[in-house]
Amino acid sequence: MTDTRITIRRPDDWHLHLRDGAMLEGVAVHSAAHFARAIIMPNLVPPVVSGADAAAYRERIMAALPDGATFEPLMTLYLTETTDADDLAAAAASGLVTAVKLYPAGATTNSDSGVRNIDNVIPVLERMAEIGLPLCVHGEVTDPDVDIFDREAVFIETVLDPLRRRVPGLRVVMEHVTTGDGVDYALSGNDDLAATITTHHLMINRNHILAGGIRPHYYCLPVAKRERHRQALRAAAVSGEQKFFLGTDSAPHSVETKENACGCAGIFTATNTMSCLAHVFEQESALDRLEAFTSLNGPAFYRLPANEERISLVRGDSPVDYPPSIETGAGPVVVFDPGVTLYWRVEDLGERA
Ligand code: DOR
Ligand code: ZN
């Protein structure tokens, strides 16, 4: 069989955790290999809360990239109940900051400084609506009485929808939607509402985590849901609909902190995301819509130009050979195992010469 090749605009990752220090040094190269830009999550310890923090973090990211890498980190600020609206507006006006991240306090990794009472951030959100600065939302309630598999649906009904009515014109990205409810709500909104979908939520459901043994490397937040939700996410991703685009939520944790009595949430997909996505889109007979999902819809929402560079994905006869884990100065990080054999690889730029 001859190789099948598709060429698309270079993709962007609209939701990425790069961490800091030794982990940043170890993982940055992997996102920069395929992606031109990424929205960088601010949930460091301590979090990235001010323009000055974002500028310093951006410098550390640039320093961690290999020579010659072309990768633009799009910085975000971590919204707290004491965020300074003027500082935020100045950081946006200078082009330093592309979005602001809302973590409900306690919802996920390093979210302790997040928002407890939405009332306290309304003035900041109104300012963001005024200047058109998008709010990236981790959409889960943290109420211990709400079942973890229902937290996204309950968040939409009790927090997100009321919030969008209260601050009309606020541009919102529902980050990593994991349910049919999330997809339906995104579709019900106007152009100010969009949603990212991760690679792993297109490939796993909750059985992967829990059936036949507990598999910590499939644990992330929001947790993967039942199969019908995965099907709804796949339909949304391959639809070509502008509201849906890739945010990998690639979230490295060392093996030690994942394989633990209280393992961290997060799946590392930076190295094999494009191979996985080509597999999914091929399965769905939608390879012609892969580019919309990875390279066109995100820039359209963020009002940025699509990348001019192209990458090619090639489907060969033999399985793609990629390491099951990567080494970092913060320990080894396990790469997402999609549970299927992958045949699509990103062609090296020199490969066709
Ligand atoms: O699984 C997750 N990991 N979900 C998040 O929201 C945060 C992330 C992380 O920072 O590890
Ligand atoms: Zn995330």
pLDDT digits (tens, 9 = 90+) for 17-60: 999 999 999 999 999 999 999 999 999 999 999 999 999 999 99
Ligand 2 mean position, distance from CA 102 (Å): 11
The answer to whether residue 181 is catalytic is no
| Catalytic entry in 249, 288, 317, 348 | 249
Residue 111 has pLDDT above 90, yes or no: no
Pocket of ligand 1 (CB under 6 A): 17, 43, 108-109, 138, 220-221, 249, 251, 265-266
Task: Quote the pLDDT of residue 109.
Answer: 78
Ligand nearest to the CA of 251: 1
Domain ranges of the chain: 4-352
Please state, in angstroms and rounded to a whole number, the distance separating the CA atoms of residues 75 and 134.
12
- How far CA 248 is from CA of 198, 238, 300, in Å, comes to 4, 15, 18
178-213 per-position pLDDT tens digit: 999 999 999 999 999 999 999 999 999 999 999 999
Asked whether the predicted pLDDT for residue 291 surpasses 90, the reply is yes
Tell me how far the alpha carbon of residue 265 lies from the centroid of ligand 1, in angstroms.
5
Beta bridge partners of 193: 172
- Across the chain, mean pLDDT equals 96
Cα–Cα distance between 303 and 165 in angstroms, integer? 23
In this structure, which topology does domain 4-352 adopt according to CATH?
TIM Barrel (3.20.20)
CB 115 within 8 A of CB 80: yes
Res. 147: pLDDT tops 80: yes
CA distance 274 to 129: 33
Return the ∠ at Cα 302 (arms to 110 and 32), rounded to 5°: 65
Residue 220 CA, ligand 1 centroid: distance in Å: 6
Interval between CA 111 and ligand 1 midpoint (Å): 9
Average pLDDT over residues 310-331: 96
Nearest to 137 by CA among 76, 184, 189: 76
- Write down the pLDDT at residue 353: 43
Query: Of the ligands numbered here, which is closest to the C-alpha atom of 13?
Result: 2
pLDDT of residue 352 exceeding 60: no
pLDDT value, residue 348 = 72
- Which atom of ligand 1 is nearest the CA belonging to 43? 10
Closest C-alpha residue for ligand 1 atom 8:
266
